[in-house]
Structure formats: C-alpha cells, structure tokens
Structure 1
C-alpha cells in the first residue's frame, strides 16, 4: 500500500506518481485475486438497490438514489475482507470517484487503506442494436474526464462496455475497433484501459461470436506499440481457454471475466475452467447482500463471496 501521508493527486510528485503507477500495474498483471465491479450507474442503479433490499419508494430523486448506492459501496469497500489479499482492483462510477469514504476520496481510500487499485467506468451507455451489436454512445468531454481521473483522483485505469448479441463478423469488427479507439485515448492520458466487448450470455450464437471476437481482438492487439498496454474484460467463453492466447499477448496486462448474469456459483464454476482469466464481477459479488443485514451477517456473506470468487480466479 502507499503511505497514507502522501498526496493522492497524481502529478504532484512525478517520481512518486510513476512509482505508484508501476506498483499498481505489477499488482494487476501478476497479483492473485479479482477485480470488484462497483460501477452500476443510471438505469442499473435501481435494480442494484432492489437486490440490496432498497425499494424505489425509500428514496426521492436521483441524488438520494445515488446516496443509497454510495452507502452500499462504502459498506462493501470497508468490509474486513475487502483488501488486496483477494481483491486486486475495483471499478468505480463517476459519482463514486468524486465521493468520499471516511472523509477520504474513494480512489485514495481504496489504494491507501485497502491496497486495491482504482478504475473508472467511462462509457455513457449503449446505442441501439445494429449489425448484431450495441456500440458505445458518444462520450462528450472524455479527454477532460480522463485528465480529472488521472490527475485529481489517482485513477489507474478505465473500463468501457459494449455488447455483442449475434455472431455478425462485421458488427464485431466495428465494436472492437471502437473499443481500441477509446482505449488509445485512455493510454494517451496515462492510464490503462479495460476494454469490455461483452458477449451476451443469452446469444444463440455465443460460441461462434466469441471466436469471431477473439480473432478481431488479436488483429487489433497487433496494432499497439510497445508501452500501449491494455486489459480486456470478456464474458466467460463457452469454449474454455479460448482467450488464453490474448492473455499471453505482450500488450495485455490481464484478461478478466464478467459474470454477465450468471449466478455467483455458476460464474465461478465456469471461470475455474479458464486458467488465464480472473473475475471482474458486479452482481455476482453483491448477490445476497442486504441493507437490512447486521454488519456481522453482511461481512460474513460478503467474505464468503469474496473467497469463492478469489478461488475461482486462481
């Protein structure tokens, strides 16, 4: 972990800044554990709160809604088992990045108090489906957001999601090209992007789409120069080991898996067959957690889920 007396703002001390970044990168590349996805936003927030036992009539308006989700995330992050012993990184929503935990900016708290590397979700949602895929919506102000994340909050990397529904080769090439276009902007801002071209687990052509995706990713990876390093977040493949070659590519820091709607048990069982992927779970991590649980009950259940996901990621 970093010294809690040191400033969190990247760029204040360039030597320290680079040293912290390299330490975080080393942790993400070779550490044992998984990434916690705590980045529900917009339309997914009410659903996440309902799963946590908070109904829509318990808050009024967007501010109170995001206040409730921040309380949930704070409870997760401050739980005894949420440390770098098993959790390597955490993906945050913009409001969470700008919020605080125990009076400390969230990203700073994650790294200094928990040893967990902070990431930021940067996409603005999905376009309507076309050519079997949903591209990312435009991201106005992206460069300013990236600068803020890196310089003001010490964010290590980003995550951006798009979705593949069908095995349409042209659509998949387009979605991968867009991911790399955004990824290069993240790299230029001094961070490591997590590219997330998700394949829907409900796709009738999931296996075929994943093989097309693997090929499209390999083609784009070979266009990256030395030092242009990325991570990739993918649906757990129907063919175990499909993405092993991507994980071995010199430009790939790590390949991580999304739970995609699978239950915690099924996601972990599927992930355990893919030895070069680690988890980056959202709903599966928070499964069963409730606002109404005592701290003892909450921490015990979360600790059990963390251990289960950790074991599947080894």
Structure 2
C-alpha cells in the first residue's frame, strides 16, 4: 500500500529543529525520512536544514546524520555508501540520502552531483528548493526565478529583481542517464511520498527535486506555504514529472513521464502577486513569465506525451 497521511509512520525522525514556521524544507525532510526509515543515513551541506537541525547539544535527526562541506554533498554520500558497503551493509537495509538546498545543488554542488551520477553511486539526492540562498540572507541562486526580489537582485528604480531564468536541474540531471529522477512539491505530498518510495526501491543514483517554499524569502504568510507549493504547480510554473533511465525503463535513452497536467492553468498573476518577492513585476513582465511557461509546456507535450 502506498504511504499517505493516514498510514504514515507516527515516529518522528526529524523533530525539535529551529526552522522558521511554515518552512517547506523542513516538511520535505520530515516526510522523506518517514519514508526512508530510521536506518537511512543522511548528509547535509551548509544550508537551512543543517543550520536548523544541528544545534549543539541537540541533534534534531533520529537517524545518523552529518554536515558536509558546502560543495561536497554528493561526494560525501559516495564515501558513506562505500563505507557501509565495506562493513557488509546491504543497500536495502539503509538508504544513503543527501538533503541540499538549491544553491548547494544547482550552483556549488553540481560538480559533485554530476560525478556521483557518472559513477552511478547507490545514493539518493534530494534538493529542497526554496529558490534562493535563504540561510545566508536571501541571495540569488541559479534556481531563483525571473523577477524575484533577493538581496543580490534588488527591486528599485532600475531593477525589477532577478533577470535570469530558473535553471532546469531536473532535465540537466536526467541528461546524465541516471536510473531515476523526479520533480515534486510539498503542496502535493502524496505525489512526493510515492516518488520517495519509488526512489527507495531503485539502486544507483536517484535524484528528487522538490519545491519547498520559504515564508521569509518569498514574502508570504507561513500559513500559505503549502498553498503556494500547490499553486506553483497549478499555474504551470512547476511541473511534476519522472525520468527513468535505460537501466530501469528498458528504453534506450530512458523515458520521461508527466505526472500531473492541469486541465486549465490557474492564474500566474495571482501566484506571483501573492508573494512579496514578485510585487514589483509589471504587467509586461508577468506576460513574459506566462509566455515562458507556455513555451515550456509546448515542449513537454511534444516530447513527453
């Protein structure tokens, strides 16, 4: 039976942390560890989850967990997995999992991630994406979306926030041909749980990219975080999909599967204007975001259908 809110284990494996109220990243980590179980071994680089989860003398992980150098999450996962294998541990007994933010994944950590995929190390890498370097003061990352206000992409007379488009890490990772990759959202928790269970049962490198809103950086009430994580999917600015490599799908080059296609997109304007980081966007800039979304969905429907 697939895990859901009704049959999810009651044991808490990530608790007592110091995350902000409404933190999407902490929700993602909590849910993931419930699926992966108490024998999972976790590694986290510098970022929100290491900052809030390792507070001497309190460790907020019931699992074995450690902090890694900022750029080395995937490399440390490789070492942990090799050490467990040398001790005679079987992969099915303990999942080696990394939790890294968008900056620690798409920017400073992408080299180590690419290397782990190239070696096909038996690890699961989860990127909790709050779309900026939130832990260090809300600086832009390469996963910050167009128009977003950060401390390094300010809003003022001559600037309307981030001028670049969000990097498509899911498709970059899939281009490596790894066994399994997926996108998810804490606003669609049942989908996230299914993908965690799927990833747990596959060997080799697996990657899940989960949208995890941040009330501080996004400029919205903490009570709205799950709603925003759902809205970004409903308005088409984030898609839920899976990639299965050739070794899993049996198809040369692998296969993409779209998990959710809204019958009609919700309002992009409402999604953007509900967040302080986008309030300076003009009508023209919102139209640009919509056109970019439409072009992306044309590609998805053409190539993945």
TM-score in terms of structure 2 length: 0.35
TM-score by length of 1: 0.34
Larger RCO, structures 1/2 (Cα 8 Å, 6+ apart): 1
